[in-house]
Amino acid sequence: KQEVTQIPAALSVPEGENLVLNCSFTDSAIYNLQWFRQDPGKGLTSLLLIQSSQREQTSGRLNASLDKSSGRSTLYIAASQPGDSATYLCAVSLIKAAGNKLTFGGGTRVLVKP
Amino acid sequence: DVKVTQSSRYLVKRTGEKVFLECVQDMDHENMFWYRQDPGLGLRLIYFSYDVKMKEKGDIPEGYSVSREKKERFSLILESASTNQTSMYLCASSLTGRASGNTIYFGEGSWLTVV
Protein backbone atom coordinates (compact mmCIF):
# COMPACT_ATOMS: atom_id res chain seq x y z
CA LYS A 1 0.00 0.00 0.00
CA GLN A 2 1.33 3.41 -1.00
CA GLU A 3 2.26 5.68 1.89
CA VAL A 4 3.09 9.35 1.48
CA THR A 5 4.95 11.29 4.16
CA GLN A 6 5.62 14.99 4.48
CA ILE A 7 8.23 16.30 6.86
CA PRO A 8 8.19 18.68 8.63
CA ALA A 9 4.54 18.94 9.62
CA ALA A 10 4.95 22.66 10.24
CA LEU A 11 7.44 25.30 9.21
CA SER A 12 7.88 28.95 10.10
CA VAL A 13 10.22 31.24 8.16
CA PRO A 14 10.84 35.00 7.87
CA GLU A 15 9.66 36.73 4.74
CA GLY A 16 12.13 36.52 1.87
CA GLU A 17 13.61 33.18 2.87
CA ASN A 18 13.36 30.26 0.46
CA LEU A 19 11.02 27.43 1.44
CA VAL A 20 11.90 23.75 0.98
CA LEU A 21 9.09 21.24 1.48
CA ASN A 22 9.69 17.50 1.35
CA CYS A 23 7.50 14.62 0.26
CA SER A 24 8.40 10.91 0.25
CA PHE A 25 6.47 7.91 -1.05
CA THR A 26 6.97 4.19 -0.64
CA ASP A 27 5.89 2.78 -4.03
CA SER A 28 7.94 4.16 -6.94
CA ALA A 29 5.44 2.94 -9.58
CA ILE A 30 3.72 6.30 -9.71
CA TYR A 31 1.77 7.82 -12.59
CA ASN A 32 2.29 11.38 -11.43
CA LEU A 33 2.81 13.53 -8.35
CA GLN A 34 0.98 16.73 -7.55
CA TRP A 35 1.57 19.53 -5.09
CA PHE A 36 -1.44 21.38 -3.67
CA ARG A 37 -2.02 24.42 -1.54
CA GLN A 38 -4.83 24.60 1.00
CA ASP A 39 -5.88 27.74 2.81
CA PRO A 40 -7.71 27.35 6.15
CA GLY A 41 -11.27 26.10 5.70
CA LYS A 42 -10.95 25.89 1.94
CA GLY A 43 -10.51 23.28 -0.75
CA LEU A 44 -7.23 22.35 -2.41
CA THR A 45 -5.66 24.22 -5.30
CA SER A 46 -3.29 22.36 -7.61
CA LEU A 47 0.09 24.06 -7.87
CA LEU A 48 2.24 21.73 -9.93
CA LEU A 49 1.87 18.31 -11.52
CA ILE A 50 4.91 16.21 -12.40
CA GLN A 51 4.45 13.23 -14.69
CA SER A 52 6.43 10.10 -13.82
CA SER A 53 8.75 10.69 -16.82
CA GLN A 54 9.63 14.24 -15.71
CA ARG A 55 12.22 15.35 -13.18
CA GLU A 56 10.88 18.81 -12.40
CA GLN A 57 8.23 21.40 -13.07
CA THR A 58 8.34 25.15 -12.59
CA SER A 59 5.71 27.83 -12.22
CA GLY A 60 6.80 31.32 -11.23
CA ARG A 61 8.49 31.16 -7.84
CA LEU A 62 7.60 27.48 -7.45
CA ASN A 63 9.78 24.58 -8.52
CA ALA A 64 9.05 20.93 -7.83
CA SER A 65 11.50 18.10 -8.39
CA LEU A 66 10.83 14.38 -8.59
CA ASP A 67 13.21 11.49 -7.94
CA LYS A 68 11.20 8.33 -8.51
CA SER A 69 13.98 5.92 -7.69
CA SER A 70 14.42 7.33 -4.21
CA GLY A 71 10.71 8.02 -3.74
CA ARG A 72 11.10 11.74 -3.13
CA SER A 73 9.79 15.07 -4.29
CA THR A 74 10.74 18.54 -3.14
CA LEU A 75 8.78 21.76 -3.54
CA TYR A 76 10.88 24.94 -3.53
CA ILE A 77 9.25 28.33 -3.06
CA ALA A 78 11.65 31.17 -3.74
CA ALA A 79 11.62 34.45 -1.84
CA SER A 80 8.67 33.56 0.39
CA GLN A 81 5.92 36.08 1.09
CA PRO A 82 3.30 36.23 3.87
CA GLY A 83 0.72 35.28 1.22
CA ASP A 84 2.48 31.92 0.87
CA SER A 85 1.27 30.97 4.35
CA ALA A 86 -0.90 27.89 3.89
CA THR A 87 -0.78 24.11 4.14
CA TYR A 88 1.00 22.37 1.28
CA LEU A 89 0.12 18.80 0.39
CA CYS A 90 1.66 16.36 -2.01
CA ALA A 91 -0.21 13.45 -3.56
CA VAL A 92 0.76 10.57 -5.81
CA SER A 93 -1.22 8.61 -8.32
CA LEU A 94 -0.23 4.99 -8.87
CA ILE A 95 0.08 3.52 -12.37
CA LYS A 96 -2.11 0.58 -11.53
CA ALA A 97 -4.81 2.58 -9.75
CA ALA A 98 -8.11 2.89 -11.60
CA GLY A 99 -9.37 6.40 -12.15
CA ASN A 100 -5.98 7.88 -11.19
CA LYS A 101 -6.97 8.14 -7.55
CA LEU A 102 -4.51 9.95 -5.31
CA THR A 103 -2.84 9.13 -2.03
CA PHE A 104 -2.09 12.24 0.02
CA GLY A 105 0.60 13.13 2.49
CA GLY A 106 -0.35 14.74 5.77
CA GLY A 107 0.75 18.20 4.63
CA THR A 108 3.20 20.82 5.81
CA ARG A 109 1.72 23.91 7.45
CA VAL A 110 3.76 26.95 6.45
CA LEU A 111 3.84 30.33 8.18
CA VAL A 112 5.78 33.15 6.55
CA LYS A 113 6.33 35.95 9.04
CA PRO A 114 6.53 39.56 7.80
CA ASP B 1 -11.64 27.57 -15.60
CA VAL B 2 -12.70 24.25 -14.21
CA LYS B 3 -15.27 24.59 -11.52
CA VAL B 4 -16.21 21.98 -8.95
CA THR B 5 -19.19 23.13 -6.94
CA GLN B 6 -20.31 21.65 -3.64
CA SER B 7 -23.82 22.83 -3.00
CA SER B 8 -23.63 23.04 0.78
CA ARG B 9 -20.72 24.65 2.60
CA TYR B 10 -21.97 24.15 6.15
CA LEU B 11 -24.47 21.60 7.42
CA VAL B 12 -25.63 20.55 10.85
CA LYS B 13 -27.52 17.25 11.01
CA ARG B 14 -28.86 15.03 13.74
CA THR B 15 -27.67 11.51 14.46
CA GLY B 16 -29.60 9.03 12.35
CA GLU B 17 -30.57 11.50 9.64
CA LYS B 18 -29.98 10.73 5.99
CA VAL B 19 -27.57 13.26 4.51
CA PHE B 20 -26.90 14.11 0.87
CA LEU B 21 -23.80 15.99 -0.21
CA GLU B 22 -23.93 17.14 -3.81
CA CYS B 23 -21.08 17.91 -6.16
CA VAL B 24 -21.20 19.21 -9.72
CA GLN B 25 -18.33 19.79 -12.15
CA ASP B 26 -18.56 21.70 -15.40
CA MET B 27 -15.65 20.35 -17.45
CA ASP B 28 -16.91 16.96 -18.64
CA HIS B 29 -14.47 15.08 -16.39
CA GLU B 30 -14.73 11.29 -16.27
CA ASN B 31 -13.38 10.89 -12.76
CA MET B 32 -14.99 12.21 -9.61
CA PHE B 33 -13.98 11.66 -6.01
CA TRP B 34 -15.19 12.15 -2.46
CA TYR B 35 -12.64 12.66 0.31
CA ARG B 36 -12.96 13.52 3.95
CA GLN B 37 -10.34 15.53 5.78
CA ASP B 38 -9.75 15.29 9.52
CA PRO B 39 -7.04 16.81 11.70
CA GLY B 40 -4.16 14.40 12.10
CA LEU B 41 -5.58 11.95 9.54
CA GLY B 42 -5.21 14.00 6.37
CA LEU B 43 -7.35 13.38 3.30
CA ARG B 44 -8.86 9.95 2.98
CA LEU B 45 -10.68 8.68 -0.09
CA ILE B 46 -14.25 7.54 0.54
CA TYR B 47 -15.47 6.65 -2.96
CA PHE B 48 -14.64 7.48 -6.51
CA SER B 49 -16.27 7.11 -9.90
CA TYR B 50 -14.59 6.87 -13.28
CA ASP B 51 -17.77 6.90 -15.36
CA VAL B 52 -21.50 7.37 -15.13
CA LYS B 53 -23.08 4.72 -12.91
CA MET B 54 -19.62 3.35 -12.06
CA LYS B 55 -18.28 3.56 -8.54
CA GLU B 56 -15.43 2.09 -6.55
CA LYS B 57 -14.76 2.03 -2.86
CA GLY B 58 -11.91 4.08 -1.56
CA ASP B 59 -10.09 3.59 1.71
CA ILE B 60 -12.96 4.36 4.10
CA PRO B 61 -16.32 3.57 2.43
CA GLU B 62 -18.10 2.26 5.53
CA GLY B 63 -21.20 4.25 6.39
CA TYR B 64 -21.29 5.97 3.00
CA SER B 65 -22.75 5.37 -0.44
CA VAL B 66 -22.56 7.34 -3.67
CA SER B 67 -24.59 8.00 -6.78
CA ARG B 68 -23.51 9.08 -10.24
CA GLU B 69 -26.48 9.19 -12.58
CA LYS B 70 -25.07 11.99 -14.74
CA LYS B 71 -21.48 12.67 -15.71
CA GLU B 72 -21.36 16.08 -14.08
CA ARG B 73 -22.88 15.14 -10.72
CA PHE B 74 -21.54 12.92 -7.95
CA SER B 75 -23.48 12.60 -4.71
CA LEU B 76 -22.28 11.32 -1.37
CA ILE B 77 -24.93 9.79 0.87
CA LEU B 78 -24.77 9.14 4.58
CA GLU B 79 -27.60 6.68 5.15
CA SER B 80 -27.71 7.23 8.90
CA ALA B 81 -25.41 9.99 10.06
CA SER B 82 -23.27 9.40 13.13
CA THR B 83 -21.17 11.79 15.19
CA ASN B 84 -17.94 10.21 13.92
CA GLN B 85 -18.88 11.42 10.44
CA THR B 86 -18.45 15.02 11.54
CA SER B 87 -15.79 16.21 9.13
CA MET B 88 -14.91 18.33 6.14
CA TYR B 89 -15.90 16.62 2.89
CA LEU B 90 -14.11 17.45 -0.33
CA CYS B 91 -15.28 16.61 -3.82
CA ALA B 92 -12.84 16.50 -6.74
CA SER B 93 -12.77 15.71 -10.44
CA SER B 94 -10.21 14.93 -13.13
CA LEU B 95 -9.86 13.80 -16.71
CA THR B 96 -8.56 10.39 -17.71
CA GLY B 97 -5.63 9.99 -20.06
CA ARG B 98 -2.07 11.29 -20.25
CA ALA B 99 -2.88 14.21 -22.55
CA SER B 100 -4.83 15.90 -19.82
CA GLY B 101 -2.02 15.76 -17.30
CA ASN B 102 -4.62 14.45 -14.89
CA THR B 103 -4.66 17.55 -12.76
CA ILE B 104 -7.31 17.09 -10.10
CA TYR B 105 -9.64 19.94 -9.20
CA PHE B 106 -11.27 20.31 -5.81
CA GLY B 107 -14.40 21.98 -4.59
CA GLU B 108 -14.43 24.36 -1.64
CA GLY B 109 -15.47 21.67 0.81
CA SER B 110 -18.56 20.92 2.89
CA TRP B 111 -18.33 21.15 6.66
CA LEU B 112 -20.68 18.60 8.18
CA THR B 113 -21.44 18.53 11.90
CA VAL B 114 -23.51 15.63 13.24
CA VAL B 115 -25.03 16.25 16.67
What digits encode the pLDDT tens for the residues A24-83? 999 988 888 999 999 998 899 999 999 888 999 999 999 999 999 999 999 999 999 999
Pairing of strands B87-94, B110-114: antiparallel
pLDDT digits (tens, 9 = 90+) for A56-73: 999 999 999 999 999 999
Does B42 sit within 8 Å of A106, measured CB to CB?
Answer: yes
Tell if the CB–CB gap between A43 and B43 is shorter than 8 Å.
no
Res. B99: pLDDT tops 60: no
Distance CA A64, CA A34 (A): 9
- Looking only at Cα atoms, what is the longest distance across chain A? 44
Integer angstrom CA distances of residue B2 from A31, A46, A112: 22, 12, 29
Q: Which of B52, B91, B104 to mutate to test the interface with A (most CBs of A within 10 A)?
A: B104
Can you say how many angstroms the Cα of residue A10 is from the centroid of all Cα atoms in its chain? 13
Residues of A with CB under 8 A from a CB of B: 31-32, 34, 36, 41-46, 49, 51, 89, 91, 93, 98-102, 104-107
**How much is the pLDDT for A93?**
86
